[in-house]
Chains A and B, each alone.
Chain A
Amino acid sequence: GEDVEQSLFLSVREGDSSVINCTYTDSSSTYLYWYKQEPGAGLQLLTYIFSNMDMKQDQRLTVLLNKKDKHLSLRIADTQTGDSAIYFCAEMHTGTASKLTFGTGTRLQVTL
């Protein structure tokens, strides 16, 4: 079955870059997503990448995909205190009725 892993915790200083990593096992993943969850809030879709892409950039966010190693990363440039949250990666294969398999989540703590 699918398995999506993330490191549990990351602490960075304000202004530095954050890199959150995700590994997955299912090579048939079609789309890979990054979500942000702030305390007491729902899931906010940050960005996503199609599996035939290597990189996607959106303002402060850069997604890198290494399909050979089944490794996905999210880089947040100039990290701010408002970026403190839990970040989930998720994979979707359209052949499975578009359901998502989520990673374990990474708690990002931004310190001053």
Chain B
Amino acid sequence: SAVISQKPSRDICQRGTSLTIQCQVDSQVTMMFWYRQQPGQSLTLIATANQGSEATYESGFVIDKFPISRPNLTFSTLTVSNMSPEDSSIYLCSVVINTEAFFGQGTRLTVV
């Protein structure tokens, strides 16, 4: 199994600002995944973060809006840039170990 720690657990931010979410895993993993869960919705993959290379973004998500860092095999950050109220969501990081996909507790973001 994997223990995933996300920080912050929640935040309220002003529109136009940026927030960086951190994800720490207790084991080394090749890929880390960032998902978004909008209010009352399911989860949607934002991007896949690989150590040593640029993140791979899904359709509808771009690097300028959601820059990602992956400095080592146990850590990643997701930044939500130039926020608007539509960015209010839960953001979750995830890893896959031996076919089991584990999730952090999520970061609940409210943009006002």
Where the two chains meet, the residues of A that have a C-beta atom closer than 8 Å to any C-beta of B are 31, 33, 35, 40-43, 45, 48, 50, 88, 90, 92, 94, 97-105
Interface residues of B (CB under 8 A from A): 31, 33, 41-45, 48, 56, 92, 94, 96, 99-106, 108
Taking CB as reference atom, which chain B residue is nearest A99? B45
Q: Find B101's partner among A42, A98, A103 (CB 8 Å cutoff).
A: A98
- What residues of B have a CB within 8 angstroms of the CB of A94 in the complex? 99
Q: Who on chain A is nearest to B45 by CB? A: A99
Instruction: Report B-chain residues with C-beta under 8 Å of the C-beta of A42.
Output: 92, 103-106
In the A-B complex, the 3 residue pairs with the smallest Cβ-Cβ separation, listed nearest first, are: A42-B105, A43-B103, A98-B96
Identify the interface centre among A40, A41, A48: most chain B CB within 10 Å of its CB.
Answer: A40
Asked whether, in the complex, the Cβ of A100 is within 8 Å of the Cβ of B48, the reply is: no
Q: Which of these, B44, B92, B96, contacts A43 with CB under 8 Å?
A: B92
Instruction: Please determine whether B103 and A104 come into contact, CB atoms closer than 8 angstroms.
Output: no
Chain B interface main SS type: strand
Most buried by B among A40, A42, A45: A42
Residues of A within 8 A of B42 (CB): 88, 102-105
Closest Cβ–Cβ distance, residue B48 to chain A (whole Å): 6
Whole-angstrom distance between the Cβ of A38 and the nearest chain B Cβ: 11
Q: Which residues of B contact A92 (CB under 8 A)?
A: 96, 99, 101
Q: In whole angstroms, how far apart are the Cα atoms of A42 and B106 in the complex?
A: 6
Residue of B nearest to A94 (CB): B99
